[in-house]
């Protein structure tokens, strides 16, 4: 998505209050009204500027004072979570009409210990791991940029039902899988994030290492410097107007 504008507007019939409230949730404001033969339409506008809130800012990504991380996700999970970031050789038929596919909110569950350092507002660069053994250097790629809403651990949930209520809507995992993760993962981390940017150009691990200077013995969770993040945005041909420095 290329903005090329500081403000956008949309009109919605006043009777669709649930839809109006959804726009308001993501930073639109009621600007005025216009009458038509079909009823009253609200004019909602959104200025692309820092409003001090992750959802109000969406799809903007606030870089300043927020940490940046690479987060690895296996191919079979990545394709379902980030449909706008499918690779050229992936089939769109694998996507279903599911909440986790269509929503900008994503929930990912893992046990990677590096997640303990991630906080609300931090930026996640999504890293799709290789689909062929021993070919990570050429087939593992960064594809997307997300913003962390919150991170929970197993102890943050009152019980299994509390956990299921929180994770079921925006998670790619079915109830059986969710239950098994709650039971077996130690530590258990639940990351809720917004899906903000799909990179125009995917960057392979070889390029990340040799040209961007990103190295790690373990690519599950990798801390990035501000410059490395800027390089990913630039080399990935993301719309830089979406990044708030």
Q: Are residues 128 and 180 in the same domain?
A: yes
Range of the domain at 27: 7-48
Which residues make Cβ contacts (< 8 Å) with residue 144, sequence separation at least 6?
82, 84, 85, 125, 126, 195, 196, 197, 198, 199
CATH number (domain holding residue 205): 2.30.130.30
Co-location of 33 and 67 in the same domain: no
The answer to whether residue 218 sits within a structural domain is yes
Residue 84 has pLDDT above 80, yes or no: no
Characterize the bridge pairing of strands 61-62 and 243-244: parallel
Q: Does residue 33 share a domain with residue 110?
A: no
177-188 confidence digits (pLDDT tens): 999 999 999 999
End-to-end CA, the chain:
19
Domain assignment present for 53: no
In a domain, 54, yes or no: no
User: CA-based Rg of the chain, rounded to a whole angstrom?
Assistant: 19
Residues 28 and 67 in one domain: no
Averaged over 189-199, what is the pLDDT? 95
Higher pLDDT, 93 or 132: 132
Which pLDDT belongs to residue 223? 97
Q: Would 184 be classed as within a structural domain?
A: yes
pLDDT of residue 62: 96
Give residue 80's pLDDT. 82
Interval 1-51: pLDDT, tens: 455 678 899 999 988 899 999 999 999 999 999 888 888 899 999 999 999
141 has pLDDT over 90: yes
Residue 1 lies in a domain: no
> Both 32 and 99 in a single domain?
no
Whether 42 and 144 share a structural domain: no
Query: ω into residue 59 within 30 of 0, thus cis?
Result: yes
Reply yes or no on whether the pLDDT at 98 is more than 60. Answer: no
pTM of the entire predicted model: 0.87
- 56 falls within a domain: no
Is residue 127 domain-shared with residue 184, that is, in the same domain?
A: yes
Instruction: Say if residue 96's pLDDT is above 50.
Output: no
* pLDDT band at 215; cut points 50, 70, 90: very high
């Amino acid at each position: 998505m290329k903005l090329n504008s500081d403000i956008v507007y949309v009109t919605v019939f006043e009777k669709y209050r649930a839809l109006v409230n959804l726009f308001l949730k993501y930073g639109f404001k009621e600007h005025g009204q216009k009458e038509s033969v079909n009823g009253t339409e609200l004019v909602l506008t959104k200025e692309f500027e820092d409003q001090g809130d992750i959802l109000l800012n969406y799809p903007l990504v606030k870089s300043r004072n927020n940490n940046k991380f690479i987060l690895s996700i296996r191919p079979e999970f990545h394709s379902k979570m980030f449909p706008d970031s499918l690779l050229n050789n992936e089939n769109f038929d694998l996507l279903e009409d599911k909440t986790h596919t269509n929503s900008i909110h994503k929930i990912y569950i893992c046990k990677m210990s590096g997640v303990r350092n991630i906080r609300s507002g931090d930026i996640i660069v999504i890293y799709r791991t290789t689909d062929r053994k021993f070919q990570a250097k050429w087939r593992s790629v960064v594809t997307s940029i997300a913003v962390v809403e919150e991170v929970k651990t197993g102890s943050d949930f009152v019980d299994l039902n509390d956990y299921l209520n929180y994770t079921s809507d925006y998670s790619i995992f079915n109830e059986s899988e969710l239950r098994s993760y709650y039971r077996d993962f130690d530590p258990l981390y639940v990351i809720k994030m917004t899906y903000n940017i799909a990179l125009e150009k995917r960057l392979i691990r070889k390029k990340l290492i040799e040209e961007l200077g990103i190295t790690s013995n373990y690519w599950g969770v990798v801390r990035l410097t501000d410059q490395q993040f800027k390089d990913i945005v630039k080399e990935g041909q993301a719309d830089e107007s979406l990044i708030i420095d």
